[in-house]
Chains A and B, each alone.
Chain A
């Protein structure tokens, strides 16, 4: 009688103990399986979470540009600039300049600038000095500019816009109505401003002479206007690229025909249609300017 009772008690105790142990073992196995699944899920997430969702629409209420990452208002900007003229007619330029600007607002800045340029004549002027009518006059001993009136008799080319800039300084106002950001290689946060500018200044000018030297340096006042983009990859640094046009009034073009010179003492004559007209010699110097800015 005692033996069956002991067997039953042992069975109960064994089952009672074995059941939680078995469950614990199963739980461990399940946990290990879960871990494996979790690992796989993480790998899967890693593979999918950075996949671009094609051109999805933004969530309702998402502003296009949440905030300006690099606001410019109230900041100073110091810039070193490389200057290169392009679309040159008779003279070209290469040089460097510096600029200091204060951004009154995000969209408005005042700037002062100054620099030096190295000028030269384009290849066309080489042909003019060799084969133009002015050169022929000189070679044939004919009268040239103001010869009859005791002038210098120089047979310089009778062309406008022959003066080169040696130095320039001035100021401008920059208006930046557009602020944006670019998705460049998806993760690089590249902010930028597009701006228009207008200003005025002074330039030192000179020109080559047939004798091989330079004419006396003069100063002309000029206006400038242009468009630019300011890329702001970091808070303290910006890259600038500008197209800027400098216009100024040049000295009189020395015409070799006394009648033409008399009719146009501050400029040059040109036949338009059937009439000869007098035009002021307004220089057009289009510069491509690239700069690196320090933002304070």
Chain B
């Protein structure tokens, strides 16, 4: 009877023990697989240290075994949280009656990869028969109309700008990668900017001696005649190392201007204008 009961007990328990073994095996197998996935996922996604404890890696939530391949995989140079200093050459590109050539220095802080804030200062200068001087110059059209046809535009259209200070916010909706002749590789982003600033102003006198420029004395509460401006523009930034890049940009500064007879001694009448000073800018960028 005892033998019969023992046989019955063993027969009954055998499948249960077998099932428990298989469950343990499955569980351990899943755990092993899960650990492998986590490890693989970490290596792919976050560059976790290889010597990290297994428990730590097990705590990292599994992302996925499926990897999305983006058109542009990864950015080799990240700029979020970095500063950028950028000296640039600037040339006005919509010269109708005046033209401006100058140097610009910009300082940026990249709040995120695609958002940055910028402070910009610039000076415009020209070298003519009277030697180097600050400010813009009359365009070819203005000179030709004045000399050959005795015509001149409204006085307000002849303002020149020796320098400016501005600030703007930049947003980069597009980025990509470039290969330069299959030799150098880099990344670029296209950015849009909007901001505001202040421009110093000068206005040439109607009578000139042909050599040294003379200017009208303009009223100003701060000593330098200035006008406020808003700006918008866009450009491309190329990064070829984690500290060096180049940038090209077009920016439109919108300036409200006026010539009043009470302010300008040789004014022939009042004139008002909203001028678009469109600057083409190109320079290098130092990231740190």
Which residues of A approach B to under 8 Å, CB–CB?
Answer: 4-5, 8, 11-12, 15-16, 19-20, 23, 26, 45, 48-50, 52-53, 55-59, 62-65, 68, 87, 89-90, 107, 124, 127-128, 131-134, 157-160, 177-184, 186-190, 192, 194, 268, 270-274
Contact = CB atoms under 8 A, between A and B. Distances in A.
Given A8-B5, A124-B141, A133-B149, A180 B188 contact: yes
5 contacts: A12-B12, A63-B185, A186-B71, A270-B143, A271-B147
A19 B16 contact: yes
Contacts, number: 162
The majority secondary structure among interface residues of chain A is mixed
B28 interface: no
Contact of A180 (B4, B7, B76, B176): B176
B233 to A, nearest CB: 17
A166 to B, nearest CB: 23
Contacts of A124: 141, 145
B144 A159 contact: yes
Contacts of B44: 59
Contacts of A53: 45, 63
A274 B185 CA distance: 52
B210 interface: yes
B80 interface: yes
A103 to B, nearest CB: 15
B52 to A, nearest CB: 17
Contacts of A157: 148-149
A188 B71 contact: yes
Contacts of B78: 55, 57
Nearest to B153: A124
Nearest to A47: B64
Interface in B136-151: 140-141, 143-145, 147-151
A272 B149 contact: no
A52 B75 CA distance: 13
B210 A45 contact: no
B33 interface: no
Given A127-B151, A157-B148, A181-B177, A189 B71 contact: yes
Contacts of B211: 273-274
A181 B73 CA distance: 11
Interface in B197-255: 210-211
Interface in B58-115: 63-68, 70-76, 78, 80, 93-95, 113
B8 to A, nearest CB: 4
Contact of B177 (A56, A180, A271): A180
A25 to B, nearest CB: 12
B252 to A, nearest CB: 14
Given A55-B113, A180-B179, A64 B76 contact: yes
A272 B15 contact: no
Contacts of B74: 56-59, 62
A174 B177 CA distance: 21
Nearest to B248: A227
Given A45-B64, A181-B72, A272-B129, A12 B143 contact: no
A11 B4 CA distance: 10
A270 B179 contact: no
B47 interface: yes
Contacts of A23: 15-16, 19
B258 interface: no
B95 A87 contact: yes
B126 interface: no
Contact of B181 (A12, A89, A107, A134): A107
A124 B146 CA distance: 13
Most chain A C-beta atoms within 10 Å of own C-beta, residue among B46, B144, B182, B188: B144
Given A19-B16, A159-B144, A187-B71, A274 B151 contact: no
A190 B151 contact: no
B11 interface: yes
B8 A12 contact: yes
A12 B94 contact: no
Contacts of A12: 4, 7-8, 11-12
B149 A183 contact: no
A52 to B, nearest CB: 8
